[in-house]
Amino acid sequence: MSNEFEPTITAFLCNWCTFTAADLAGTSRLAYPANVKIIRMMCSGMVDPKYVLKAFLEGTDGVFIGGCWPGDCHYINGNMKARRRVALLHEVLGRFGVDRDRLWLRWVAASEGNMFAETVEEMTARLRELGPCVMKGEKVA
Amino acid sequence: MQYTTLNTVDGLNQAIATLLGGLMDHEVVDAVMVPTRQPHGRVVMQSLIADRAGLANIDPFAPVVTTSAAKQVAALTHRPAGRPVAVVLRSCEVRGTIELAKLHQSHLDDLLLIGLDCFGRYENSAYIDLAAGDEHLSTTFLAQATGGGGTTLEGVEITTACQACEYPVPGNVDLRLAVIGADVGKQIWVEALSDKGREALAALGLDTEEGTPEGRSSAIADLTALREAFKKQLFEEFTARTDTMDGLREVLAGCINCYNCRVACPVCYCRECVFVTDTFRHDGEQYLAWAEKRGQLKLPTDTTFYHLTRMVHMSTLCVGCGQCSSACPNDLPIMELFRTVSEQTQHRFAYHPGADPQEAQPLAVFYDEEFNEVTGQTK
């Protein structure tokens, strides 16, 4: 077994677009890194910033929020809300030296199974470069 | 701008009491909320005065803010009485009030907002000690501060938050009690900033002049420059030692999860904080699982989580009043922490809390074409 660092990605995926894309990637037999752990949300706008903070504090190395492209949200504008929240989280986390590349928001449509696989591939590669996340609370939360 | 001159030779509080009493006599307002000496403990707290006799004990320039009055204004107006009330507030309290009004937790319609020029406040306990030795502490303090003698009395400094406050003069008020640049032993000024303010002065039959009182603009510029310089150095030093998660944990090491900071915060707007709900009443099994995963677990838990969450919730609205630091039982530099985060989050959204009642709060609006750099994707 390799001793090389393998990042963990916690993915919050919108039920209607990105989760469906992940499903499509699977049924299309596309290979993507097993580093990603998927949590299905009804909407990217349902991702409370607390979920993101908690995931990092519990030891994840990256968080990937997947939503519908602008204009395609099943709930009209949940993805727009997610975008402002991620911008805010980037500022707060960035203030304490947490690289913005640890938190990705990406639009992936239901038909874009290949794009889902590519995005996970890219993010995993980037997190391998960044190494383990410093937010993990070893003895304190 | 219109302003009128108040003669203070017979006492500053007396002159202001006459002004506020006039507003009640002429039925401009039914009551005034103003910092007032309490019958016990030398404490000065906001009081809602409906009987003129109560004005004998007002002390609006007392250099203490026992608790942010923005919350008292919210208590008074969240279900408006529909009756006119004057409220006497400092800059940070006005800005907090405006943010709460945007959240529909305050209503400004019934209010005559009277702002105070502010040279800063002492910590509550320090104020009580200083006031014990000086019956006329407010006048002593103002005379020294306006006379260029600074804000340190008997070796006691005003709060760090106040030393770093770049807004000594409140905006968005109807009337302003202006002391910066004045010889407070002789006179202060009352500036009218709105139609409501001008009508109030007219109702009192006070003569007004146009323009800015002589010497005021330069005195404000000097004070603001001093504060800006202090803030710049403080924030740079603080940011340098807290720009990592380890640095953050070092600062928060003494936190005991008392949540005083969010109770004291005028813009911590949640009716019930999630950190006191059952969400954070973990099962015993959960604690053991954490301890087993990490080897050991500090109790209470969720300390970093709490502060980061509060940053996400309120940092875009932070008005820099410093009540968080004052409320901390372990003297953690919460103000420095939150203000340095706020600078970044407010800058990202180009938002200035309390500056414009019409400006929407960053997380209350969203648009199709914005922040495209977050995803870096274009269709």
Give B8-34 pLDDT, tens digit per residue: 999 999 999 999 999 999 999 999 999
Q: Same domain for B221 and B318?
A: no
Quote the minimal CA–CA distance from A136 to chain B in Å: 9
* Chain A partners within 8 Å of B309 (Cβ): 49-50, 53
Residues B138, B160: Cα–Cα separation, whole Å: 19
Quote the minimal CA–CA distance from B355 to chain A in Å: 20
Domain range holding B277? 242-374
Mean pLDDT score, B207-230: 96
Quote the minimal CA–CA distance from A13 to chain B in Å: 15
Q: Same domain for B207 and B297?
A: no
Residues B95, A3: Cα–Cα separation, whole Å: 54
Task: Compare CB distances from A80 to B239, B274, B368 and report the shortest one's residue.
Answer: B368
CB distance A3 to A124 below 8 Å: no
Domain-ending residue, one of B230, B264, B294? B230
Taking only the tens place, the pLDDT of each residue in B308-321 is 999 999 999 999 99
Q: Same domain for B161 and B310?
A: no
Look at residue B114 in the predicted model and tell me its pLDDT.
98
Quick check: is B99 in a domain? yes
| CATH number, domain with residue A106 | 3.40.50.960
Cβ-based neighbours of B32, under 8 Å, separated by 6 or more: B20, B23, B24, B48, B49, B55, B85, B86, B87, B88
Quick check: is B379 in a domain? no
| Average pLDDT per consecutive 10 residues, chain A (141 residues; last block may be shorter) | 85 98 97 97 98 95 97 97 98 97 98 98 98 81 57
Mean pLDDT score, B345-366: 97
Q: Give residue B238's pLDDT band: very low, low, confident or very high (50, 70, 90).
A: very high
Taking only the tens place, the pLDDT of each residue in B68-121 is 999 999 999 999 999 999 999 999 999 999 999 999 999 999 999 999 999 999
Quick check: is A139 in a domain? no
Look at residue B258 in the predicted model and tell me its pLDDT.
97
Quick check: is A78 in a domain? yes
Q: Same domain for B225 and B251?
A: no
Predicted structure pTM score: 0.96
Taking only the tens place, the pLDDT of each residue in B166-177 is 999 999 999 999
Q: Same domain for B191 and B306?
A: no
Quick check: is A121 in a domain? yes
CA dihedral B75, B33, B92, B356 (to 10 degrees): 80
Look at residue B193 in the predicted model and tell me its pLDDT.
97
Q: What is the CA radius of gyration of chain A?
A: 15
Quick check: is A140 in a domain? no
Question: How many residue pairs from chains A and B have C-beta atoms closer than 8 A?
Answer: 110
Domain-ending residue, one of B204, B230, B256? B230
The answer to whether residue A29 neighbours chain B at the CB level (below 8 Å) is: no
Look at residue B146 in the predicted model and tell me its pLDDT.
96
Quick check: is B236 in a domain? no
Quick check: is A3 in a domain? no
Mean pLDDT score, B149-167: 97
Q: Same domain for B290 and B369?
A: yes
Q: Same domain for B114 and B25?
A: yes
Is the ipTM higher than 0.90? The answer is yes
Number of domains composing chain A: 1
Number of domains composing chain B: 2
Identify how many contiguous H helices and E strands chain B contains and give both numbers. Answer: 14, 8
In eight-state DSSP terms, residue B65 is: -
Look at residue A141 in the predicted model and tell me its pLDDT.
57
Mean pLDDT score, B36-52: 94
In eight-state DSSP terms, residue B159 is: P
- Cis-peptide, bond into residue B213, ω within 30° of zero: no
Domain range holding A99? 9-130
Cβ-based neighbours of A23, under 8 Å, separated by 6 or more: A113
Mean pLDDT score, B140-157: 96
CB contact under 8 A, B302 and A135: no
Look at residue B42 in the predicted model and tell me its pLDDT.
85
Look at residue A138 in the predicted model and tell me its pLDDT.
65
Quick check: is A109 in a domain? yes
Domain-ending residue, one of B164, B196, B230? B230
Cβ-based neighbours of B14, under 8 Å, separated by 6 or more: B8
CB contact under 8 A, A71 and B368: yes
Q: Same domain for B278 and B319?
A: yes
Look at residue B41 in the predicted model and tell me its pLDDT.
83
Look at residue B378 in the predicted model and tell me its pLDDT.
84
Look at residue B379 in the predicted model and tell me its pLDDT.
74
CB contact under 8 A, B374 and A86: yes
Quote the minimal CA–CA distance from B305 to chain A in Å: 7
Look at residue B45 in the predicted model and tell me its pLDDT.
96
The answer to whether residue A17 neighbours chain B at the CB level (below 8 Å) is: no
Considering only alpha carbons, which residue of chain B is nearest residue A101?
Answer: B374
Look at residue A4 in the predicted model and tell me its pLDDT.
86
